[in-house]
Amino acid sequence: MTSPSSLPIEVRGSAKQPLGMSPAQFLRDYWQKRPLLIRQAFPDFVSPIEPDDLAGLAMEETALSRLIIHDENRDRWKVKTGPLTEKDFASTPNKNWTLLVQDVDKWDADVAGLLEHFTFLPSWRVDDIMISYAEPGGGVGAHVDQYDVFLLQGLGQRHWAIDTNPDAPKDFRPDVELKQLATFDPDHEWLLEPGDMLYLPPGVPHDGVAFGGPCLTLSLGMRAPSRAELTGDLADYLAERLPDELRYTDPDLAPAKAAGEIDKAALTRLREAMPFAAALDDVTLTDWFGRFITRYRSAQMPVPPEKEVTSSALGKQLEGGASLLRHPWARMAWARGKRGATLFVNGHAYPAAARLAEQLCGEREFTPGQPIAEDELALLLALVNDGHLIARKGKRR
């Protein structure tokens, strides 16, 4: 078996093998593993769409398009979202701009015909064919895609640079609407001609710039839902289908040992009630449930004080005998952790000492019975300033 280090990053394709190898070999050695440049993946390639037709599509009301202009001197980027107009195109400079149109395969049968060359992939994995037209210097800046993409050169030349370092920085520039990388240090660069195709797995920093003249690139992107998207949709799906009478139950409930604690037995019952959550570790399950169960079912929420209370002011009040009343709408619970505990209040989580968390959950009116440590005062101050506790003056002890 070929070692990963000896695999070529550049191969030559042919009419019979657009990938420069069999689909099985490509999937085994490159798919979601490493980039691959395929010279002449499509020999004598002719773009299935003309730039003028792409511009016309960008002016359609239901088409998804963006016009991106780069002011090279000031390094500023302007993004105009479609539908675009003839005026938008008439006002473009002679260079440093690009037009992006998504889902072109849904509009143009010839463009959709390219998908026939990618039937080795499950059809449900294919998202769309996006097409970019760019004047010299045009591009979208260095960026990272979170999905597999095949970049097929259709017209002109485009200079591509990539960074294959798995530890390459992925921070974004804060001053650009586009998700551009703040740092980009490429280790491979190529000039692609019509018919050349660059494959990039998810997470590879890359930058493509039109070179010499206008160019058109066809981008076949994969559907890659995030785990957050999958989880959210699954939860919605299950929630719609579960009968209302199926609820959290605790017929085995024993007398509470500590007021307000979410204990191990509660976590066990949660896993029985939600089999799909069985894979969650105790920390994650507890954090979610603590936030969930303390959110009040109505929209009523405690209101923070008009003027923020300072640590010194609260400390003096408590030393003077003041007590802290729990707001009527403040719902509390707590759970032990490897280090201390977590106090949950109205969907929020606060680091806390187990002793103090239990006391706050067990008492509607909290009166310190001993000197308050600095970290405990910090917790009480946060609860006061978030409106969950209200200071009430008392007699000096």
Domain of 88, CATH number, reads 2.60.120.650
Strand partners, 341: 336, 352
pLDDT value of position 396: 46
Does 92 map to a domain?
yes
Q: Torsion angle, CA of 86/87/93/97, rounded to 10 degrees?
A: -60
Domain assignment present for residue 56? The answer is yes
Last residue of a domain, one of 222, 248, 277: 222
Alpha-carbon gap, residue 130 to 105, rounded angstroms: 8
* Same domain, residue pair 90 and 217: yes
Provide CB contacts within 8 A for 279, sequence distance 6+: none
- Determine, yes or no, domain membership for 358: yes
Domain end call among 192, 222, 252: 222
| Confidence at residue 3, expressed as pLDDT on a 0 to 100 scale | 57
C-alpha gyration radius of the chain: 30
In a domain, 135, yes or no: yes
- Pair (42, 185) in one structural domain: yes
pLDDT of 395 reads 53
Q: Which residues in the chain land under pLDDT 50?
A: 1, 396-397
Rounded CA separation 379/261 (Å): 18
Same-domain status, 106 and 10: yes
Domain ends where: 166, 199, 222?
222
Q: How long is the chain?
A: 397
Give the whole-angstrom CA distance, residue 299 versus residue 105.
46
173 and 279 together in one domain = no
Q: 26 is in which domain, residue-wise?
A: 4-222
HEC string of the chain equals CCCHHHCCCEEECCCCCCCCCCHHHHHHHCCCCCCEEEECCCCCCCCCCCHHHHHHHHCCCCCCEEEEEEECCCCEEEEEECCCCHHHHHCCCCCCEEEEECCHHHCCHHHHHHHHHHCCCCHHHEEEEEEEEECCCCCCCCECCCCCEEEEEEEEEEEEEECCCCCCCCCECCCCCCCCECCCCCCEEEEECCCCEEEECCCCCEEEEEEEEEEEEEEEEECCCCHHHHHHHHHHHHHHHCCCCCCCCCCCCCCCCCCCECCHHHHHHHHHHCHHHCCCCHHHHHHHHHHHHHCCCCCCCCCCCCCCCCHHHHHHHHHCCCEEEECCCCCEEEEECCCCEEEEECCEEEEECHHHHHHHHHCCEECCCCCCCHHHHHHHHHHHHCCCEEEECCCCC
> Is 257 inside any structural domain?
no
Q: Per the domain annotation, does 233 fall within a domain? A: no
- 70 and 144 within one domain: yes
Domains in the chain, number: 2
318 and 184, same domain (yes or no): no
Contact present, 140 and 41 (Cβ < 8 Å):
no
Both 93 and 143 in one domain: the answer is yes
Per-residue pLDDT at 397: 44
Are 392 and 284 within one domain?
Answer: yes
**Could you tell me if residue 239 is inside a domain?**
no
Whether residues 104 and 27 share a domain: the answer is yes
Q: What is the pLDDT of residue 4?
A: 62
Residue 231: phi and psi, rounded to 5, are: -65, -45
Which domain CATH number covers 287? Answer: 3.40.366.30
User: Quick one: 173 and 301 in the same domain?
Assistant: no
Answer whether residue 19 is part of any domain. Answer: yes
Distance CA 7, CA 234 (A): 39
158 in the same domain as 294: no
| Residue 197 sits in the same domain as residue 271 | no
pLDDT in tens, 45-63: 999 999 999 999 999 999 9
What is the predicted pLDDT for the residue at 254?
86
